[in-house]
Amino acid sequence: MTASISAIQIWTLILAGLAVAASIGGTIYNAKTASASEHKVWQRDLRVRIYSECTAVAEEFVTLLTSFAANVHQSKRSQASHSKEVEQIRRVAELRIELMTKTDEVQTFGAKTVATSAVHLSKTVLQSSDNMVCDPVPDLDSMKVFLAPSGTALGQFRTAVRESLKMSDD
């Protein structure tokens, strides 16, 4: 008996080879798309964390500056009020470092528009702190003028974050 291969057998082998190739290709495609999807989720989660930390530090900073302004003008220069001012100034120094660190993180991992807004927020709040702590002005209304740009910059940062984190339809 001679071994002969029929046309049906040849076509069966070709189809089986194509099925194996399609299976391998499908596995590779799924691995790549799943990895890309997981990366997008990881990146979004990282951005949410970084944005919220930056916002929290900036909010605490602005709140502290507001209370510092009120305390400076309400204090009677007693020892207790002086020690409270010293504690607030110490906390302002800590928050300056925290805000700069969080701004750097936003610049590294955040969307471009949010990073730009974070830099503006940081500069504005730091300038307000310099004005409030280093060169106190005589009345509370003037202090509010110094603090107004910080509140505006914080609002702009929040808006940029909201726009950046909106889910796309694609």
The domains located in the chain, with CATH, are: 46-165 (1.20.120)
pLDDT, position 80 = 63
Give the pLDDT confidence score for residue 161 in this predicted structure: 93
Q: What six digits make up the tokens of 39?
A: 């990366």
Q: What is the pLDDT of residues 16-73, one digit of tens each?
A: 888 888 888 777 777 677 677 788 888 899 999 999 999 999 999 988 888 877 776 6
Q: What is the pLDDT of residues 58-112, one digit of tens each?
A: 999 988 888 877 776 665 556 666 777 788 888 888 999 999 999 999 999 999 9
Give per-residue pLDDT as tens, 147-170: 888 889 999 999 999 999 886 644
Can you give the pLDDT at residue 170?
42
d(CA 27, CA 30): 5
pLDDT at 79: 60
Look at residue 115 in the predicted model and tell me its pLDDT. 94
pLDDT of residue 39: 80
